[in-house]
Amino acid sequence: MIEAISKNFFLAVSQSKPLNKAARKWGLRFGAAQVVAGDTVSSAINKVKELNNKGLCCTLDHLGEFVFSKEEATAATNYCIQTLHAIAEAKVESNLSVKMTQLGLDIDYDFCLNNMRRIVSTAKQYNNFVRIDMEDSARTQVTLDLLAELRKDYDNVGTVIQAYLYRSEQDVKDLKGIPLRLVKGAYKEPQQVAFQDKQAVDENYLTLIKTHLLNGTYTAIASHDHNIIQQVKEFVKKENIPNSQFEFQMLYGFRNELQQTLVQEGYKVRVYVPFGDDWFGYFMRRLAERPQNVAFAFKGFFGA
């Protein structure tokens, strides 16, 4: 009961525009610096170098969502392109992750699509890959529509599928051949569209993973759950699926020891590295996911 109240509280707070605005002035407070790799691309690149030296691949994400003008969306697009240039210049092992609402999805579909074409085209020049983050369920279909348009011209772009949505099993089947990042899901969704029970989400998550792997498609398994990870390891061994067909993914600042253990066992591990001053919504969703993260945040705040 308390866990549910805590989750709902942090998810609601994550969408507060006044708090998001204020957080930009606060800087990386309340423990956020432990899970956000600085507020500039140069600070993020330095973190990527450290992680690469430990045998970890990365994905950089310039935090931000729900822009309200084409000027803001164009600036975000330019920053994503700047990030791709920085990755290439530093010669680090990192992909790029982007949010469609940050690039103008809610303003104009074609405008957002053109912004994405600029980003994916730049990534293609560097032989790099762009991951489209999945946001709330109201934007799932339009995000997949946009992905389909991009895939007509580019093979270096994929997206994320969330296991708590009822529709996701069919989506995974429809997206055979497209690299997917599979997650449980981090937004508050109504029972009309999403599983509410953790066990049901976990079961569907494993179903999605197995389906995509058996389709022969590259699969990114984004989870800190050691039970899920163990079941995946047993499944790929049983089905003779090569390690080159999948990778484990975790968030920056979480389960560092497990990341290293998996690397030592010969698995590819990618760390999702968020950065930027628009960190509040991302951080609140991390607190909502697990009650343990709240203690983690207060420890970081009072230790600052």
List average pLDDT for each run of 10 residues in the chain, which is 304 residues long.
51 52 51 77 96 98 86 97 98 97 96 98 98 96 98 98 98 98 92 96 98 98 96 98 98 93 98 82 64 48 38
Q: With beta carbons less than 8 A apart as the criterion, state whether 112 and 105 touch.
A: yes
Q: Is residue 249 part of a domain?
A: yes
Angle at 88 between CA 82 and CA 90, to 5 degrees: 100
**Structural domains counted in the chain:** 1
The whole-number pLDDT of residue 22 equals 47
Active site (annotated) includes residue 181? yes
49 in any annotated domain:
yes
Closest residue by Cα to residue 269 from 212, 224, 235, 208: 224
> What pLDDT is recorded for position 26?
55
Q: How confident is the model at residue 281, as a pLDDT?
A: 65
Q: What is the CATH number of the domain that holds 195?
A: 3.20.20.220
Predicted local distance difference test score (pLDDT) of residue 65: 72
Residue range(s) defining the domain that contains residue 192: 37-278
Look at residue 108 and tell me if it is in a domain: yes
Residue 66, domain member (yes or no): yes
131 annotated active-site: no
Burial class (CB in 10 A: 0-12, 13-18, 19+), 209: buried
Q: What is the pLDDT of residue 24?
A: 52
Single pTM value for the model: 0.85
Identify the pLDDT of residue 4. 52
Q: Does the residue 262 lie in any domain?
A: yes
Half-sphere exposure of 246 (CA within 13 A, CB side): 28
Asked, for residue 286, whether it belongs to a domain, the answer is no
| Active-site pick, 133, 171, 202, 278 | 133
- To which residue do tokens 């590295």 refer? 273
**Residue 115: its pLDDT value, please?**
98
269 beta partners? 248
Q: Which residue has the tokens 């931000």?
A: 64
For the stretch 257-304, pLDDT in tens is 999 999 999 999 999 999 987 666 666 666 666 555 545 444 443 343
Which among 39, 61, 171, 181 is annotated as catalytic?
181
Residue at 10 is within a domain: no
Q: Is the distance from CB of 113 to CB of 146 less than 8 angstroms? A: yes
Establish if 179 belongs to a structural domain: yes
